[in-house]
Structure 1
Amino acid sequence: MQTLIRGIAILALLFSPLSHAQDLNALLNDWFAQRLAGFSDEVVVTIRTAPNLLPHCETPTLSVTGSAKLWGNVNVLARCNNEKRYIQVNVQATGHYVVAAVPVARGGTLSQASVTLKRGRLDQLPPRTILDINQVQDAVSLRDLAPGQPVQLNMLRQAWRIKAGQRVQVVATGDGFSVNAEGKALNNAAVAQNVRVRMLSGQVVSGIVDPDGNILINL
């Protein structure tokens, strides 16, 4: 009889809300770890939603909105058959991010010696902190940077590939043809940015700067 009672107690524990929450926590840890692979190698997820508000199935389908960040406080949509529940979680993610290695003056161009990678909590960083060191190479700083300071996207601009007044080649392509002509750039622009060009005829056209400094127009 005691053996039977003990067995029932174990089953009750296995199917208790606490056990279910622990399983869901493990599922969320794996889900976020997969999506943060390459950025973070250490992910810890804490569920903030009350146990009685969690989805009832064992393996819900998880998702977040496309623009949502994947660390810090995150709302996760959990689908169980026809049921939808939002789970509030806190995601701690540890990985590498870009910091200034030396003082960089406003207007200075960043090089390999200007920046380095630092390891720490990504969820505690300022918004839009850069994680890929290749993103900052040859970029121009828009403000003074101190050593150890996290580098954010809004602190930089890409170096101008085209400058206003510069003579440029405009390459217009269409279905089965390509035409080259010369013009003068009317604004500064980096690679992949839009630039307006005044052609020799006086007509103003707009195109995208390619890595070679040509202005590409699709007709």
Structure 2
Amino acid sequence: MSSFTLRALALWLLLCGSAAATALSDQLTAFFQTRFAHSDTAITVVVRTPAAQWPVCNAPQFSLPGNGRPWGNLSVQARCGDARRFIQVQVQATGQYLAVSRSVRRGDSLGAGDVQTVSGRLDTLPTRLILNPSRALAAVALRDLTPGQPLTESMVRQPWRVKAGQSVQVIAQGDGFSAIAAGKALNNATIAQPVRVRLASGQVVSGRADADGNILITL
């Protein structure tokens, strides 16, 4: 075989490998973009797994084990019929998130002027970012916050909807059954958090706080 033929063959193999890498990356990018269909987050997927371990079909079915991080270094299951392989990828996500705009003391409630929306690489920032401004407004700082910090769920809590010692209504509902009783909350809780309530009879029941401060029990 001539040297020219060998060079041509090597170039052809290189182009084929490059095309396959592009196709798999595009397929994975499309898969991850469906998870952000209702946002302006831009997704790029870099395949880390060597080509020899890629799926053997042209259109593998992708899935993510568990409900972990939406971006960063992830393992994706690729299924071709009964055969499955795990592809290591880096999901690069660029989009908007909330950052602290001025100093906030621990225990203070956040207002509109305390946070700002900025853009950046989400996968390089701390986990559990707050992306929706409604999650931050009226939230209570759990630590001192400084300007420029990306705001995460671990930095704030939602305001108490029920406080310990507060008089509350307990609403119990079941199949064809509904009852209301009065009592006192035994612990603080935000919306949807568990609350223990002591009824007038002395009995202690457990339910979850709703947006109106009632305690809901499903029977």
Q: Aligned equivalents of 2:148 and 2:113: distance in 1? A: 13
Shift of 1:56: 1.9
Larger mean CA deviation between 175-184 and 163-172 belongs to 175-184
1:32 aligns with 2:40: no
- Structure 2 residue aligned with 1:179: 179
Letter aligned with residue 67 of structure 1: N
1:98 aligns with 2:98: yes
- Structure 2 residue aligned with 1:18: 18
What's the secondary structure of 1:22's corresponding residue? helix
Going from structure 1 to structure 2, the CA distance change for 1:68 and 1:167 (only over 3 Å counts) comes to closer
- Structure 2 residue aligned with 1:194: 194
Unaligned runs of 5+ in 2: none
Kindly provide the CA deviation profile for residues 18-47 of structure 1, in whole angstroms up to 9, marking residues without a partner as x: 322221112112222222233453222111
- Structure 2 residue aligned with 1:135: 135
- Structure 1 residue aligned with 2:150: 150
In 2, are the aligned partners of 1:40 and 1:93 still within 8 Å (CA)?
A: no
TM-score scaled by length of structure 2: 0.89
Unaligned runs of 5+ in 1: none
Q: Aligned equivalents of 1:163 and 1:56: distance in 2? A: 58
Going from structure 1 to structure 2, the CA distance change for 1:54 and 1:204 (only over 3 Å counts) comes to same
- Structure 2 residue aligned with 1:125: 125
In 1, are the aligned partners of 2:41 and 2:96 still within 8 Å (CA)?
A: no
Going from structure 1 to structure 2, the CA distance change for 1:41 and 1:158 (only over 3 Å counts) comes to closer
In 2, are the aligned partners of 1:72 and 1:91 still within 8 Å (CA)?
A: yes
Letter aligned with residue 155 of structure 1: M
- Structure 1 residue aligned with 2:111: 111
1:78 aligns with 2:78: yes
In 2, are the aligned partners of 1:207 and 1:215 still within 8 Å (CA)?
A: yes
What's the secondary structure of 2:42's corresponding residue? strand
Going from structure 1 to structure 2, the CA distance change for 1:196 and 1:53 (only over 3 Å counts) comes to same
Shift of 1:79: 1.1
Letter aligned with residue 65 of structure 2: T
| RMSD (Å) for aligned C-alpha atoms | 2.2
Kindly provide the CA deviation profile for residues 26-75 of structure 1, in whole angstroms up to 9, marking residues without a partner as x: 21122222222334532221111111221121111111113132311111
- Structure 2 residue aligned with 1:66: 66
Kindly provide the CA deviation profile for residues 73-108 of structure 1, in whole angstroms up to 9, marking residues without a partner as x: 111111112221111111111000111122110000
Letter aligned with residue 160 of structure 1: W
1:207 aligns with 2:197: no
In 1, are the aligned partners of 2:105 and 2:145 still within 8 Å (CA)?
A: yes
Letter aligned with residue 136 of structure 2: V
Q: How many residues end up aligned between the 2 structures?
A: 213
TM-score scaled by length of structure 1: 0.89
Larger mean CA deviation between 76-85 and 103-112 belongs to 76-85
In 2, are the aligned partners of 1:165 and 1:187 still within 8 Å (CA)?
A: yes
Letter aligned with residue 79 of structure 2: R
